Amino acid sequence: MIGSMIPWDDLETVNADLNAFVDWDKGASGGSGPLAGMTAGIKANIAVEGLPWTGGMGAYRGRVADKDADAVARLRSAGATILGTVNMEEAALGAKTDNPFFGATQNPHRIGYTPGGSSGGSAAAVAAGLCDIALGTDTMGSVRIPAAYCGIYGLKPTRGAISHDGLEIAEPTLDTIGPMARTVEELEACSRILIDCDDAQAIDNIALLENLGEVECEPSVLESYAKARSALQASDHFALPYPLTRIRYAGFILTSLALSKSLGPLLDSDPEGLSGTLKFLMTFGPKRSASDLDEDRRILAEVGEAVNAVVARHGAILLPTAPQAAFSHADKAPANQADFTCLANIAGLPAITIPAGWNDAGLPLGVQIIGAAGNEAGLLQLARQLDNQLSAYRQPTLFFGQ
């Protein structure tokens, strides 16, 4: 595929309603290989040669990547056509993809609703058929939550499985690049290019969180989770040493602290290039006392060990992806959005989200499976099995080519 064969005018017409893509590569071309014929969108914090590498920040609008990130280079070498970069939350810290510099991205299932964050542009572009696959980044759920809100499939790989080369990092110990797609098969094809997958290890048992009820969930979320639990015949339970809300907050503190260090110089050199909201969120980490920071790190370490121990004993963990479906951009983001997804990042484990149903308003819901480190192949295998039983993928109202 060469650039002149891509229906740019039609793509731009659909994108005008979504604001998923922010920069196009009109010279995009594909090649030969396992991803030949597939098109891709790349989150704006991942470098794409010749395009603005903004990280969703006004301060970096003029920064142009001089080479592809390693993950992007892998997609190109496998034949994928890189169409451009997609919208995101500013500095990858946020839950709605309502960017102060690049605008709000819309959920293709309902205009006016969030696609999730921080990889909202990636999920919306894939769900709407603007591209076949997309790369997002996941610090505490930022691939899986948008994928769930937009009714598609998303993978957060094992810590370190995908290079950070060419990534504008939020928090180095939690961050990972991850792919999204509209089918498990396309997700696996993309994942095998990005990750040096080991042979699949069969997952024969699934663990469930016994204190799931501490997180306020929409009733439809619990109903779809129950269907997935039944389909996998999961019955074993485990407990965590701390409440999910406290665990998630500890992860947020570390992210705030990391961003305050990496973006701190911009507060002097380009203060208007960062929004007031981001500046405020960056203050939480530095204001934390030494004893509180020690406690945050201890909580994350203990929870990481606990989650790894559960997966080692049982094989995998089943959880809702998010406690709610997508919500209006006019609404405040719920604080508990990443309560379930943060566990995989803290433990450094791979996790996959798949469509699991819809709420009463017709918005998609997701469930996630957390697997053992390095067992992306086994996780994808189990996800395909569950996907076949749930059959919950539904094309959105706004879909390119309809």
Tell me whether residue 142 is one of the annotated catalytic residues.
Answer: yes
Q: State the Cα–Cα distance between residues 293 and 291, nearest whole angstrom.
A: 5
- Considering the candidates 43, 119, 122, 275, report the single residue annotated as catalytic: 43
Give the helix/strand (H/E) hosting 377.
helix 376-390
End-to-end CA distance of the chain: 21
Q: State the Cα–Cα distance between residues 228 and 248, nearest whole angstrom.
A: 24
* Sign of the CA dihedral running 113, 342, 21, 221: negative
Q: Which residue has the tokens 């090649």?
A: 31
CB-based contact 121:115 (threshold 8 Å): yes
Tell me whether residue 279 is one of the annotated catalytic residues.
Answer: no
Helices (H), 59-170: 70-77, 120-127, 144-149
CB-based contact 26:8 (threshold 8 Å): yes
* Helices and strands in the chain, H and E counts: 13, 13
Q: State the Cα–Cα distance between residues 304 and 296, nearest whole angstrom.
A: 12
CB-based contact 8:102 (threshold 8 Å): no
- Considering the candidates 96, 119, 122, 142, report the single residue annotated as catalytic: 142
Strand order across the 21-24 sheet: 21-24, 81-86, 39-43, 133-138, 176-181, 153-156, 351-358, 364-371, 316-320, 207-209, 236-238
Torsions phi, psi for 371 (to 5 deg): -120, -175
Tell me whether residue 96 is one of the annotated catalytic residues.
Answer: no
CB-based contact 39:2 (threshold 8 Å): no
CB-based contact 5:89 (threshold 8 Å): no
Strand pairing category for 39-43 and 133-138? parallel
Catalytic residues: 43, 118, 142
